[in-house]
Amino acid sequence: MSECTNFTEGEFYQAHFDPRAYVRNFYSSPRGHSDEKDFLTFVLGVFSRLFSTGKHRGQRLIDVGSGPSIHCVISACAHYDEILLSDFSDNNRREIEKWLKNQEGCLDWSPILQHVSKTEGKRPSDLEATLKQRIKKVLKCDVRLENPFDPLTLEPADCVITSLCLEAACKDMQIYRQALHGLTKLLCPGGLFVMVGVLSETFYKVDEQLFSCLSLKQNDIEEALKGFGFSIQEFNVLPAEDQNNSVSDFEAVFVLVATKNI
């Protein structure tokens, strides 16, 4: 990735990440970006299937590294009383707050809400109302810290979700494993851990702004989680199409589902 001379960590996101361009590029339709072969449809489908069973529920869900997005908690919102979203970037958190408060010019999540509602046989207005009622806080987080929410100490959650965060925030495998361990400590014993990520990606673009990514292999992730006392239930993979992808170079997108051993 010749365009990047340094890994684009959190401070770079704070200065250069445009949340509105990001949502426009990757979340304006349920397919996601046209270069990424139904990336978003695949992810939303796994979340709908996972939570529609009603098996996974509880008091608290924490979404770590939400970006400006709410899509990862749409299917789960009916099953957890309290949802906490979080991100390092002030601008990302500000966009979520604007949407929660229905402020003028807030991001439009109706195409994604309509897609999930149709999949799950619900009304979009009901789903949106439940989601906004259940999201209680939007917090600052830094996954590079042992406690990502320092100086706050959160009560253990029944579910932790993270999407496209760790590989974007961690410049090497040592930091990645430390960050993953920090996330797993947020969970109650028996709790559900869901991670969306990309395999073998080194970069992605938002408009023309380049962001770097830690290239991961499936066994790297599985071995780390097993070492932290997790049982992997699913590792769902959608390979990238062999085509000219102008916005990223991932080989596959995955949705991992694991439980913390009691």
Q: Please indicate if the annotation marks 142 as binding a ligand.
A: yes
Inside any domain, residue 19 = yes
* Residue numbers of the domain that contains 186: 10-260
Helix-then-strand count for the chain, H and E: 9, 9
Inside any domain, residue 5 = no
**E strands of the chain, at which residues?**
58-64, 80-87, 135-140, 157-163, 187-199, 203-206, 209-212, 230-239, 252-260
Q: Please indicate if the annotation marks 87 as binding a ligand.
A: yes
Any idea what the Cα angle at residue 39 is, between residues 60 and 258, rounded to 5°?
A: 40
Inside any domain, residue 154 = yes
pLDDT by position in tens, the chain (length 262): 334 568 999 999 999 999 999 999 999 999 999 888 899 999 999 999 999 998 999 999 999 999 999 999 999 999 999 999 999 999 999 999 999 999 999 999 999 999 999 999 999 999 999 999 999 999 999 999 999 999 999 999 999 999 999 999 999 999 999 999 999 999 999 999 999 999 999 999 999 999 999 999 999 999 999 999 999 999 999 999 867 788 999 999 999 999 999 8
- Written as six digits, the tokens of 79 are 């099953």
Q: Please indicate if the annotation marks 65 as binding a ligand.
A: yes
Q: What pLDDT does 4 receive?
A: 53
Name the residue among 132, 129, 159 with its Cα closest to residue 70.
132
Number of domains in the chain: 1
Residue type, 16: H
Q: Please indicate if the annotation marks 92 as binding a ligand.
A: yes
Inside any domain, residue 90 = yes
Name the residue among 68, 58, 123 with its Cα closest to residue 92.
68
Inside any domain, residue 4 = no
Q: What is the CATH number of the domain that holds 81?
A: 3.40.50.150
Partners of 231 in the β-ladder: 259
pTM: 0.95
Inside any domain, residue 3 = no
Q: What pLDDT does 210 receive?
A: 96
Q: What is the CA radius of gyration of the chain?
A: 17
Q: What pLDDT does 260 receive?
A: 96
Q: What pLDDT does 262 receive?
A: 82
Inside any domain, residue 1 = no
Q: Please indicate if the annotation marks 143 as binding a ligand.
A: yes
Inside any domain, residue 29 = yes
